[in-house]
Structure 1
């Protein structure tokens, strides 16, 4: 079992081996990137996608789904980023949605009232969320982002990670979000 004492020891190792030697990071991601992924411990977006510290903002939730709460979080993070414009690199902003195979979200299909509450929709609308299919769900969520978020130089893409092979498949290639 990993306990708090073990975490503090690991942190001391991190400080000694990595933190002191890495370049200073800014509050804005150096890669102009935000990744939304699942809380499943097999699918750490930074490891799966080979991201360096500070390269992307990462949001993790059940299923890596774009819910109203996720959209509110993204809006808040946008405000934080805007408050620190001087540290933002130029170029397109990339939102990457990362879903995965064998997701526990599929187990929640047996609890429609819970899922309806999670998505903040009526139970009758759950079929449109493609809860049992990560390829379908990442398409649903990229479409939702394209409808709900506006901005110039903003791309959204959808990836599916296969937990049995470790490979990522591009399901929705980087697509511009309509401006204003």
Structure 2
């Protein structure tokens, strides 16, 4: 079992050997990743991201929900308040779903999922909770419609927990203009 002592010891190694000082609040890589809380699928590890390279949002299933959109809006305001060091160019919003997701285990819990997605129960089939390839397409579509006119590219990826390989389901796609 990992306990607090283990965490403090690991942090001491991190601080001594891998810590990078001087990082800014804005990601250095013009990237935000939305991924699942599943401990097998840490977006920073599976995508090879460095500390400070991307903003990472994690939730159940890595889904684009109204709460995710609100979080993204808040992070946008933080970025606007801290313009120094903000890289030029388009931002890439990466949606990372994965195989063998626990979201599939929630499929029978219609009321719980409807509350999570903030939709009526009869709209749950539109969320494709049991198919990571289709769910990533649906979530990319939400971003493409919700964030129109912004300077973003949206990418949809699926990570295979058995092989460690990522499939590009939706290549970097510019947001539609209003």
Both proteins in one fold, TM over 0.5: yes
For structure 1, the residue ranges without an aligned partner over 5 or more in a row are none
The Cα shift of 1:26 comes to 0.7
Deviations 1:106-147 (A, max 9, x none): 000010000000000000000000000000000000000111
Deviation at 1:153, TM superposition (A): 2.7
- Cα deviation code 1:37-60 (max 9, x no counterpart): 000000010010000110000000
* Residue 60 of structure 2 is aligned to residue 43 of structure 1: no
Task: Kindly state the Cα deviation for residue 152 of structure 1 after the two structures are TM-superposed.
Answer: 3.8
- What does residue 144 of structure 1 align with? 142
Aligned residue pairs: how many?
178
Who is 1:122 aligned against?
120
The structural deviation recorded for 1:150 is 3.0
**Which residue in 2 is equivalent to 1:53?**
51
Tell me the equivalent position of 1:34: 32
Structure 1 residue ranges (4+ consecutive) displaced by more than 4 angstroms after TM superposition: none
The residue that corresponds to 2:10 in the other structure is: 10
Deviation at 1:23, TM superposition (A): 5.0
Give the RMSD, CA atoms, in angstroms.
Answer: 1.0
- Per the alignment, residue 97 of structure 2 pairs with 99
**How far is 1:179 from its partner?**
3.6
Question: TM-score when scaled to structure 2?
Answer: 0.97
Match of 1:69 among 67, 70, 84: 67
CA deviation string 1:45-94 (max 9, x = no partner) = 00100001100000000000000000000000000001111220001111
Change (3 A) 1:11 1:51: same
- How far apart, in 2, do the equivalents of 1:6 and 1:23 lie? 23
